[in-house]
Every structure is written in C-alpha cells, then in structure tokens.
Structure 1
Amino acid sequence: MPNPYLPNWEYIPDGEPRVFGNRVYVYGSHDLAGSDRFCDYTLKVWSADIHDLNNWICHGDSFHTRMDRDHESDTSWTDRELYAPDVVERDGQYYLYAYIVGSKGCVAVSDRPEGPFKLLSTYRVPDNSAQILEEGHFIDPGVLVDDDGRVYLYCGYLSSYMAEINPDNMLEILPDSFQPDILPVDEPFGFFEACSPRKVGDTYYLIYSPKMGSRLDYATSQSPVGPFQYGGTIVDNGVDYPGGNNHGSICQIKGQWYIFYHRMTNNTVMSRRACVERISILPDGSIPQVEMTSLGFDQSLSPYRFIPADLACVLKGGCYITERNVIDRAVVHITSGCVIGFKYLDFGEDYSSKTMEFTVKVRGCGNKGKMNIVLDHSENGEVIGTCDIGADHEVIHTAVKAVTGRHAVFLVFEDEYSGYFGQFFEGRPLCELDGFVFHK
C-alpha cells in the first residue's frame, strides 16, 4: 500500500503504531478536510493484518469528547478537541491515553485493541506534583510498559517531562516520579513536542518533534528515566514538500522496521494524512535518516498501473495536493517551474522496443505550457519525453524513451510565454494533475 496508506477521505495524523497479536493498529488524531484547526472530537482506529499491509480496516470511532449522531460523549467535564493519543496493553486490557485541549486528560480502557474505549478516569495526580501534570498540559502522551511491568508516561509541549504510572490502576501518577526536561530544549535535541517511547532490545528510544517541526528526531538511553543521548533525524516531511508539524513513531512488523508519520494536504497544516517509510536500526542502535517516498509499505510502484497524483512525495514551486471530494484528489496550482515527483517506479527489465507511451490526465487552466518527464533527478535527470498542455481538461498521450529498472519520476512544468507579454502570464496555473500511467 503506497503513501498515504489509508483511503483518500481519511485524515489520521500523529499516528502511534502498535502491534497486538497478528495485527498492526494505528492510533492517532482525527483531522478534517478544510478545517481551520487541528483535530476534532473523535478518535478512530485503523488496523491491518501483519501479513497483508495492503488492506487496512477502519474499526470506527473509539472515543469522543462530543456527542455525534451515533455516540454519546465519553467526557462529562469537557467538549474540547482530542489530540495525539496512545494505546498500550497490560494484562489483556488495552489502555487509551488521551490529551484534551485545555482540559484534564484521561485514561480509558477496552478489552479489544480497536476499542471502543470506556472512560476510567482523568489522570490522578499527587497533591505535591507539578501543576503542569494536572490541567491542560498533559500534551501528546506516549506510554511505555517496560519488561518488568513498570509503566512510564512521556509528554510535553515546548518542554518535555515524564512520570511513572501506577501499574495497578494505569492512571495514577506515582509520587515523586515527575521528572522535567527528560529531553532538553537546547540543541542538538531542540525538543518541541510529540514524545513517543519505544524499547528495542535493551535500548530506550524517544521519538519526538524538534523545534524545526517538520522532522521526527530520536534520542536513546539505557534507562527509561534517562539520561538520553541525541540520535538524529529519522524523517523530515518538509524536504521538497510543503512541510508542517510531525508526529509519529517506529514499529517493527515481521522483522522490518518502519517510521509512521504524516504529511500535509489542502495547502494547510491542518489536513494531515498518515504515511510510513521503511527504516533500519543499525547494530549500534542508530537510525539513518530516510527520505520521503511514494512507497508506503510497498517496495516499488508499477508505472504500468495508474499513478494517482496524491502519491507525489515531491512538490516544489507552490503546487499542492487538495481534495476535490472524498474520492478525487489532484495536485493543483501548477505553475511554470513546479516539480511533482514520485519515488520509486520499477519499469522492469528486458524491453526490446526503443519507445513506450505515457498517458497523463490533467485539467487545463486556460494557459499554454509543457510537461517534461524526467528520471532520477528533477534538475539534471534524463528527460525521456515531453507533453504539451492545452487549455482544456484532457487526457494527453505521448511517446517517451523506453527505460528499465527502478527510477524516481519527476514531472517538470514550463509555460510557453515569452517576450514582453510573457510577464503578464507569470504565476498563472497551467493545469491540475490527476495522475498518469506508462504503457508498452
């Protein structure tokens, strides 16, 4: 399943991946298309069989802070937005930890990993604990159940902190366990938000978003309470793409490690979609940075099947992906100089012809231009063909050079206006891209 790996209409940012049994579950916030704020009042759960990551199932709503047409509210003390939850398992029960904007956070429980979750309580905080743990600051909770049964909570916004949870009730903060600045705000850490703990072997990892908020960085320790050493960046959703905040974590599925994160759509930082990349954890515990791709769980994409525009992982020059409706998405505001990239397409081997065909579906915007099909690098890669873009909605066919092997494919746009009057056409959209396909 390529990126984004959930259906077109679904916006699940801040994804926390967890493997329970033979399924991987993603717990995250829930954005809305066209919203002017982060998240809404509902949490949803998606999952897939670890042996079939191409088929994700929606389990529906799992928790609410407002009543809707099908559910009562789960919180009597607030109706504010739900942010960035986490779920852990202990003794056959699944515990949901939720941050609620400007309100007391809470813990809910279910006997199924998909929920729905039933409220247990707001967090119970000892009288002598820091006020930051109590009212409206329990931000982006990430929870770790250690091998010895002890339970740790990590959270924070602009500064980080941690505390230990009573494993007997999973909601009480233990006295004297609060620890501020578990990750420093100073460089190289530069902590901002989005704590997510994991344990790999004997090493404790904290994945988080630094001040340059389009990244997911990590730090490591030999103890759940630190000190932590800065590790580096795992993924950056702002590289050659309209970036924004980031939140996610690492997960091992059938021996392969992944980083789950989100990317922006609709020319806003509010409409975020779930993405994933393969990563490696080296013998020394380090995680090399990976690039954003169109691949998701796939090893490569077939150029001989229609490639929807919203699989683009490179968007340069001001173009962006937007939702026309719950089915159709396009790259819009394509002007001269824009680049749209897809990584990676496998053209296969042993093709005897010198040419093949390329078909692209666009919506003309009343201007003249052309689209170059470029391999491997948008600036100095090989141009294998060119399409003329007309004024109307159209499907364009052209012959291109036959290629083999695995390549990044870039669509590079130019207008066809020159001379004195060319200045009046600068910045005018050339077309909107729906997608393309190669065929032999």
Structure 2
Amino acid sequence: MKRNYFYFTLSLVLLLVSCHQSEQDQVVGNPLFGGYFGADPAIVEYEGKFYIYATKDPWGGDDLAVFVTEDFLSWEEASLNWPTKEACTSPTSLDANVWAPDVIQGKDGRFYMYISVGSEIWAGGSDHPLGPWENLKADNTPLIPSDFIEGIHHIDANCFIDDDGKIYLYWGSGWDWVNGRCLVVRLDDDMKTFLEEPQDVTPPNFFEGAFMIKRNGQYYLMYSDGMAINETYHIRYSVGDTPYGPWREGKYSPILQSTPDGAVVGPGHHSVFRVHNQDYILYHRIYPQEQEYVLRQLCLDSLNYDAKGNILPISLNSVPPFE
C-alpha cells in the first residue's frame, strides 16, 4: 500500500530515477515517515528503485520491514518470504527476533542478505531485492551460529566488496552493553565460504553495527557505540589503510549523536549509499517514549568530508539536491 509522508530536501531526485520533478524543491524533515519500522536500516538501488530493509520494533519481529521508493517521497510497503524467525532457527539459536539486515548486490548481479536472527547470522540470496529469498546454505543452518566464538554477540553483519573484487564480512557486538568486538573474514565468490580464519579488528570505541566504505584509497570502518536503548547511542568511525586496519579514530568522531535539546535521541546503526558522487547516511533514532521497550524511526542525511578526507559531523536534515 502507498504511504505519503513528511518530506526532506530532495529536489531534482526524480531526475535520478527518470521521473518528472517540479522546479520547486520538496522540503521535509526526519523521520522519513511515521511508524516504528526503521531500526538498523539497509538500502539497495535496483532498476530505478530504492529498497530499504529494517528491523521492526519493538526489538524486532518475526520478519523484516521493507519499503520501496523511486523518489523518497512516496513509499510502498512490501514483504519478504525470507528471513523469518521460523525459517531461521537452529539448535543453537537464542531468543532474539529478526534484526539488523544488510543487503548487497554481488559481483554476479544477485542480491545477498546477511541477517541476525536468534543472535546468529544467516545468509540469503535472491535474483531480486524482493525475492524470493533462500538460505545460501543448503542444510538450512546459520552462516555464523551463536556459539561460533565465545564472548562475541554474533549480530550486525555487513558485507563489503573491495575495488579488487575481494569480499569481506564484518560483524559482532558485545553482551550487556559492554565489550563490543568487531570481527572480519574474507568470503569466497559464493558469498558464504570463509577463505580464512576470522580476525578481531575492533576499532576504538566500538560496540556494534559495523559498516565499511572506501573512499580515495582509504577504508572507513563506521559503527555505533553506547546503549541502543537510550541517548548514549551514537555513530563513530575509524580510518585504516587496509580492510583489517589498523584503525585510527576519525578526527570528528563521533559524527552523529543525541542533541542537547532532545530533538534527536540515540541515533545509530546506519548504512551508507552513494548517488552521483554524494554519500548519504541512513540511520535510526529513538522515538521519545515512556515504555520499557525501544521504538525507533528511520532518518536520512548527507555524509560529507573535509579536504583531508575526514568525515564531517552530520548536519541534521542536510540532504542536498541531487545533480
């Protein structure tokens, strides 16, 4: 069904997707739309449409929230056949619901999803962003079970394909809001086979939500720190010369955090996408509430750099016109 929601500045965006746009800018603020479907968002673009996948609140659901847009103004809500809590349950699964999707288009043109279910990471594949999806493992087991490495909370996976075609999977968090760890492993072209032993590459002040980008030969490992249930949650990043680091925390890190006036609370667990050489950061923030559980909303801003390549602090509601 279609939903029309508040607007953020996206003038000329329809030129990007071969649609007509009026000369007058469309101006809106975050969140992108109402409801509590926007946690831990991932995004892919395919054939002129953007597909956004997110955790349902409170604390996940039996499946994912999925939204489709051509212009970030009008939205269609979709559903997927996989993953579900029922389909992604193993003898080692814990109680957690469906969380934290990461979706990427592979070198073969197919789409691959890495999803946290039951505090395990499952991997799926599809020819289309809306599926049908299926487990990459024929035996219907998780790619990374909950007991894979003791002391690591095996959630929040992010797949990164480097310029040279090498594929890396990052993941990890901590328990009880402490001791977050970040692991990485090289994947084979089948997007599921480990080519090496996982390595601990935890950057400074890391807790969870790793997301890797590469710009101008530098690797930017972005991530969240703090407690996802309150105002301490925020986004940081570190820079390295290889996909494994070593890491030095960015000059302006953290780049996005709660504002003193309470207008933005607990922003975090993001993804980054690029349109016409402009980066954008898609993230969630906490909706102010008195409930014991957390409700989160989907937000979008531009991601910019200074002359030396440092990621600048996020200017809220900062989406510029697409060129």
What TM-score bracket applies, with the shorter chain setting the length? 0.7 to 0.9
1:224 aligns with 2:243: yes
Give SS of 1:236's match.
coil
Aligned with 2:213 (options 176, 187, 198): 198
- 2: CA distance between counterparts of 1:59 and 1:174? 35
Asked if structure 2 preserves the Cα contact closer than 8 Å seen for 1:65 and 1:80, the reply is no
Relative to the length of structure 1, the TM-score reads 0.56
- 1: CA distance between counterparts of 2:190 and 2:52? 24
- 1: CA distance between counterparts of 2:169 and 2:271? 15
Summarize the alignment of residues 109-128 of structure 1 with structure 2, pairs less than 5 Å apart. 109-121=125-137, 122-124=141-143
- 2: CA distance between counterparts of 1:56 and 1:255? 24
1:150 aligns with 2:166: yes
Give the letter aligned to residue 311 of structure 2: I
- 2: CA distance between counterparts of 1:194 and 1:150? 21
Deviation at 1:40, TM superposition (A): 1.5
Deviation at 1:281, TM superposition (A): 2.0
1:42 aligns with 2:63: yes
Asked if structure 1 preserves the Cα contact closer than 8 Å seen for 2:121 and 2:157, the reply is no
Per-residue CA shift, 1:51-90, capped at 9, x if unaligned?
x232233232353434xxxxxx432525740111101111
Give the letter aligned to residue 299 of structure 2: C
- What corresponds to 2:80 in structure 1? 61
- 2: CA distance between counterparts of 1:238 and 1:28? 24
Deviation at 1:219, TM superposition (A): 1.1
Aligned with 1:100 (options 117, 120, 123): 117
Asked if structure 1 preserves the Cα contact closer than 8 Å seen for 2:122 and 2:144, the reply is no
Q: Identity of paired residues, percent?
A: 27
Greater RCO between the two (CA within 8 Å, min separation 6)? 2
Name which of structure 1's ranges 209-218 and 89-98 shifts more when overlaid on structure 2. 209-218
Runs of at least 5 residues in structure 2 that lack an aligned partner in the other structure: 1-6, 8-27, 174-178
Aligned with 1:26 (options 42, 49, 52): 52
Give SS of 1:197's match.
strand
Give the letter aligned to residue 28 of structure 1: A
Number of aligned positions between the proteins: 273
- What corresponds to 2:278 in structure 1? 256
- 2: CA distance between counterparts of 1:125 and 1:29? 19
Asked if structure 2 preserves the Cα contact closer than 8 Å seen for 1:214 and 1:238, the reply is no
- 1: CA distance between counterparts of 2:184 and 2:300? 29
Asked if structure 2 preserves the Cα contact closer than 8 Å seen for 1:234 and 1:290, the reply is yes
Give SS of 2:312's match.
coil
Deviation at 1:175, TM superposition (A): 3.1
- 1: CA distance between counterparts of 2:255 and 2:83? 32
RMSD of aligned Cα (Å):
2.8
Name which of structure 1's ranges 156-165 and 137-146 shifts more when overlaid on structure 2. 156-165
The structure-2 alpha-carbon separation of the partners of 1:43 and 1:88, relative to structure 1 and needing over 3 Å to count, comes to same
- 2: CA distance between counterparts of 1:283 and 1:47? 35
Q: Considering only CA atoms, is the larger Rg found in Structure 1 or Structure 2?
A: 1
- What corresponds to 1:179 in structure 2? 199
Give SS of 2:149's match.
helix
- What corresponds to 2:11 in structure 1? none
Asked if structure 2 preserves the Cα contact closer than 8 Å seen for 1:191 and 1:210, the reply is yes
Summarize the alignment of residues 14-413 of structure 1 with structure 2, pairs less than 5 Å apart. 14-31=40-57, 35=58, 38-49=59-70, 52-61=71-80, 63-66=82-85, 73-77=86-90, 80-90=96-106, 91-102=108-119, 104-121=120-137, 122-124=141-143, 131-132=148-149, 137-157=153-173, 158-176=179-197, 178-180=198-200, 182-184=201-203, 189-211=204-226, 213-231=232-250, 232-241=253-262, 243-244=265-266, 246-267=268-289, 268=291, 270-292=294-316, 295=317, 297=319
Deviation at 1:171, TM superposition (A): 1.3
Per-residue CA shift, 1:262-308, capped at 9, x if unaligned?
1222505611000011231233211111243xx47477xxxxxxxxx
The structure-2 alpha-carbon separation of the partners of 1:190 and 1:285, relative to structure 1 and needing over 3 Å to count, comes to same
Relative to the length of structure 2, the TM-score reads 0.74
- 1: CA distance between counterparts of 2:131 and 2:186? 21
The structure-2 alpha-carbon separation of the partners of 1:238 and 1:60, relative to structure 1 and needing over 3 Å to count, comes to farther
Name which of structure 1's ranges 223-232 and 7-16 shifts more when overlaid on structure 2. 7-16
Name which of structure 1's ranges 214-223 and 153-162 shifts more when overlaid on structure 2. 153-162
The structure-2 alpha-carbon separation of the partners of 1:288 and 1:136, relative to structure 1 and needing over 3 Å to count, comes to closer
The structure-2 alpha-carbon separation of the partners of 1:218 and 1:297, relative to structure 1 and needing over 3 Å to count, comes to same
- 2: CA distance between counterparts of 1:61 and 1:271? 22
Deviation at 1:95, TM superposition (A): 0.7
> By percentage of residues, which structure has more strand?
1
Asked if structure 2 preserves the Cα contact closer than 8 Å seen for 1:108 and 1:119, the reply is yes
